[in-house]
Amino acid sequence: MTELEDIRQGVLRFRKKVFPLKRAIYEELAHHQDPQVLFITCIDSRIDPADLCDADPGDMFGERTPGNLVPVYSEIRSGISASLEYAVTALKVTDIILCGHSDCGVMHGLLHPDRVAKLPNVSHWLHYGARARAVVDEICEGKSDDEKVMELARQNVLAQLDNLKTHPSVAAAIVKRGLEIHGWVYQIEDGEIHAWSPSQNRFVPLDSQSITEPDLAKV
* DSSP assignment string, 38-93: EEEE---TT--HHHHTTPPTTSEEEEE-GGG--PPP-SS--HHHHHHHIIIIIS--
pLDDT of residue 177: 96
Name the strand (E) or helix (H) holding 197: strand 193-197
pLDDT of residue 217: 47
Per the CB < 8 A criterion, the answer to whether 101 and 187 are in contact is yes
pLDDT tens for each residue of 153-209: 999 999 999 999 999 999 999 999 999 999 999 999 999 999 999 999 999 999 876
pLDDT of residue 212: 47
pLDDT of residue 97: 98
DSSP string, 20-45: HHTHHHHHHHTT----SEEEEE---T
pLDDT of residue 77: 75
pLDDT of residue 218: 43
Residues 6+ apart with CB under 8 A from 187: 101, 102, 193, 194
Name the strand (E) or helix (H) holding 202: strand 202-205
pTM: 0.91
The 3-state DSSP class for residue 2 equals coil
Ranges in the chain, pLDDT < 50: 211-212, 214, 217-219
